[in-house]
């Protein structure tokens, strides 16, 4: 990478023509298009890192309450997924068959990939289940599950085991304590299962509907500044083409390709920032700094594309991002939206991107790679400082901005998906960055 290193010594400007990244060839498309993968919670900007079930059954709520009550388990980085489901099946046995139905709750933790990766996951976790055989023979089960996906967020295989307290002859009769085992196939949000209650002479088969998939939803994290629509919903990147990766070099190339797509996605987001700053009457200095940030992101796209090609993806070119349409807001509403997104996407998001890039640069053994990541870290930190200055200007314009920011002060930061690198180290960087941002925001307000 010696030629790459020499190019980057001039801040990477010479790479743009080499990889032919079009600076303004963005396709304007309605936010209702099928290509617009939105991430949103009731019209609010997405700030959750983990998948917690909305409208989950009572068993799911109960398990979530247990987790929240235990400080060792309720940290936002311990379980990747928590949700609940409903199921129906048919129980076979020597005494005849009967319909079985009930509710269940589960959590999943994945240690092999990070929270928003598009890579297949291996996951494990506890589960709780309440089953009725017919209308009068209940089963109460506690256990654990472990499984692995064969295709991300589409297909996975799951094994279960645990203990069941059953009343095979109704609540008036004696209870029976029995081990149970189960095998399931997870297809998106449906789990096809067969279970065996070893001392209860019943072997149900059926299907479970899990609105929150066992292994979590497909990843949509963006390193840097994402696009948002009128409702504040975050639009995911189109992403690099998925390939099976086996060697470290292939995983490294995949990381660079994903990074190139994420950097390219930031370009239309920053172009919109330029427009919206002008629309609310922001100082010319802030507008000019936002315009220069667009050039930085194009350079980052070029750098990451060149690195992906050098690592083995010879013909890789990042897909052109879709520019999501939204209407600019004037007056107080425009300033408040600008402040909110500057906090979430600039102070937290781009600040984290800078911290992670600086860490990568410090650990890189290749001089060219180290220089590339250092260039990106310096630029992203400058973008984060721009967000802080925008935040301060917004607060000076409208005191209501302070109250708005206090409501999202505790927003978590999401570690972007990567196939290489130590997840726990990156998680630690993210947590330290969030605490630093909280302290700085408190001082500003």
Taking the C-alpha atoms of residue 207 and residue 104, their distance in angstroms, rounded to an integer, is: 12
Phi and psi at residue 196, to the nearest 5° = -135, 115
How far lies 64's CA from each of 81, 144, 408, in Å? 11, 15, 22
Token couple for 4 = 């790459």
Angle subtended at Cα 377 by Cα 49 and Cα 277, rounded to the nearest 5 degrees: 75
| Average pLDDT score over the chain | 78
What is the predicted pLDDT for the residue at 33?
Answer: 30
- Of 262, 292, 261, the closest CA to residue 11 belongs to 292
Contact 105, 56 (CB under 8 A): yes
For 293-319, what is each residue's pLDDT tens digit?
999 999 999 999 999 998 888 889 998
Q: Taking a C-beta distance cutoff of 8 angstroms, is the pair 230, 327 a contact?
A: yes
H/E element holding 435? helix 423-444
**197 pLDDT band (50/70/90 cuts)?**
very high
Q: Are strands 155-166 and 137-151 parallel, antiparallel or unpaired?
A: antiparallel
Averaged pLDDT, 166-195:
92
15: how many CB neighbours lie within 10 A of its CB?
A: 24
Mean pLDDT lowest among 32-46, 117-131, 304-318:
32-46
User: What sign results for the dihedral spanned by CA atoms 293, 373, 254, 234?
Assistant: negative
Confidence band of 16 (pLDDT split at 50, 70, 90): very low
Distances in whole angstroms, Cα of residue 178 to Cα of each of 44, 121, 143, 162, 193: 46, 31, 12, 9, 19
Residue 242 pLDDT: 56
- Residue 171's pLDDT is what? 85
- pLDDT score, position 340: 93
Of 3 and 352, more confident: 352
Average pLDDT over residues 178-206: 94
Question: Collapsing DSSP states into helix, strand and coil, what is residue 46?
Answer: coil
Q: In this model, does residue 61 exceed pLDDT 60?
A: no
Query: Cα–Cα distances in Å, from 392 out to 157, 278, 349, 356, 444?
Result: 50, 16, 17, 25, 7
Q: Which sign, positive or negative, has the C-alpha torsion 419, 425, 427, 432?
A: negative
Residue 156 in 3-state DSSP?
Answer: strand
Split at pLDDT 50, 70, 90, the class of 146 is: very high
Pick 384 or 31 by higher pLDDT.
Answer: 384
Evaluate whether 194 touches 182 at the Cβ level (below 8 Å).
yes
Q: What structural domains does the chain harbor?
A: 2-37+224-444 (no CATH), 51-209 (2.40.160)
Cβ contacts of 250 within 8 Å, gap of 6 or more: 243, 312
The 3-class secondary structure across 378-431, one letter per residue, is HHHHHHHHHHHHHHHHHHHHCCHHHHHHHHCCCCCCCCCCCCCCCHHHHHHHHH
Strands 38-41, 44-45: pairing kind = antiparallel
Which segments of 311-330 does DSSP mark as H helices, in order? Answer: none
Please tell me the distance from the alpha carbon of residue 308 to that of residue 377, in angstroms, as a whole number.
18
Most trustworthy range by pLDDT among 210-219, 222-231, 271-280: 271-280
Q: pLDDT at residue 395 above 60? A: yes
Asked if the model's pLDDT at residue 279 lies above 90, the reply is yes
What does residue 373 show for φ and ψ, rounded to 5 degrees?
-70, -35
Question: What is each CA distance from 169 to 173, 221, 324, in whole angstroms?
Answer: 6, 51, 60
CB 81 within 8 A of CB 123: yes
Query: Are residues 158 and 184 in contact, defined by beta-carbon separation less than 8 angstroms?
Result: yes
378 Cβ contact list (under 8 Å, min separation 6): 354
pTM of the model: 0.59
Model confidence band, residue 129 (pLDDT cutoffs 50, 70, 90): very high
pLDDT level of residue 144 (50, 70, 90 thresholds): very high
pLDDT tier at 385, thresholds 50, 70, 90: very high
Q: pLDDT: is 385 or 62 the higher one? A: 385
Whether 166 contacts 174, CB under 8 Å: no
Return d(Cα 303, Cα 1) in angstroms, integer: 12
Runs of H (alpha helix) within 172-316: 248-279, 284-310
- Record the tokens describing residue 127, joined without a space: 């589960």
């Amino acid at each position: 990478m010696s030629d790459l290193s020499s190019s980057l010594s001039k801040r990477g400007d010479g790479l743009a023509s080499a990889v032919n990244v079009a600076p303004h060839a963005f396709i304007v498309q309605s936010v209702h298009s099928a290509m617009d993968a939105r991430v949103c919670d009731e019209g609010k900007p997405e700030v959750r890192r983990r998948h917690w079930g909305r409208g989950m059954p009572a068993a799911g709520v109960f398990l979530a309450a247990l987790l929240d009550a235990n400080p060792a388990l309720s940290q936002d980085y311990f379980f990747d997924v928590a949700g609940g489901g409903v199921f129906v099946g048919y129980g076979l046995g020597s005494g005849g068959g009967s319909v079985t139905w009930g509710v269940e709750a589960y959590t999943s933790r994945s240690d092999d990939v990070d929270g928003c990766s598009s890579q297949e996951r291996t996951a494990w976790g506890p589960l709780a289940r309440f089953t009725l055989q017919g209308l009068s023979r209940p089963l109460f089960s506690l256990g654990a599950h472990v499984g692995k996906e064969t295709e991300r967020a589409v297909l996975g295989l799951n094994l279960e085991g645990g203990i069941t307290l059953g009343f095979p002859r109704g609540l008036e009769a004696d209870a029976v304590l029995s081990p149970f085992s189960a095998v399931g196939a997870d297809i998106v949000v449906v789990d096809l299962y067969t279970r065996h209650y070893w001392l209860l002479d019943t072997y149900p088969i059926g299907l479970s509907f899990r609105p929150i998939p066992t292994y979590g939803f497909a990843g949509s994290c963006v390193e840097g500044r994402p696009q948002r629509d009128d409702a504040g919903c975050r639009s995911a990147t189109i992403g690099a083409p998925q390939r099976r990766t086996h060697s470290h070099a292939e995983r490294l190339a995949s990381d660079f390709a994903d990074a190139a797509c994420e950097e390219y996605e930031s370009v239309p987001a920053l172009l919109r920032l330029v427009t919206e700053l002008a629309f609310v009457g922001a100082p010319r200095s802030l507008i000019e700094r936002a315009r220069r940030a667009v050039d930085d992101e194009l350079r980052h796209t070029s750098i990451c594309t060149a690195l992906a090609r050098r690592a083995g993806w010879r013909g890789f070119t990042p897909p052109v991002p879709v520019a999501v349409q939204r209407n600019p807001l004037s007056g107080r509403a425009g300033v408040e939206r600008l402040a909110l997104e500057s906090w979430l996407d600039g102070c937290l998001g781009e600040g984290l991107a800078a911290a992670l890039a600086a860490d990568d640069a410090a650990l890189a053994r290749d001089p060219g790679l180290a220089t590339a990541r250092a260039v990106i870290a310096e630029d992203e930190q400058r973008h984060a400082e721009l967000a802080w200055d925008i935040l301060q200007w917004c607060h000076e314009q409208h005191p209501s901005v302070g109250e708005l920011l206090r409501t999202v002060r505790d927003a978590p930061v999401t570690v972007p998906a990567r196939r290489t690198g130590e997840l726990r180290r990156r998680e630690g960087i993210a947590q330290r960055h969030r605490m630093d941002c909280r302290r700085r925001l408190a001082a500003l307000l």
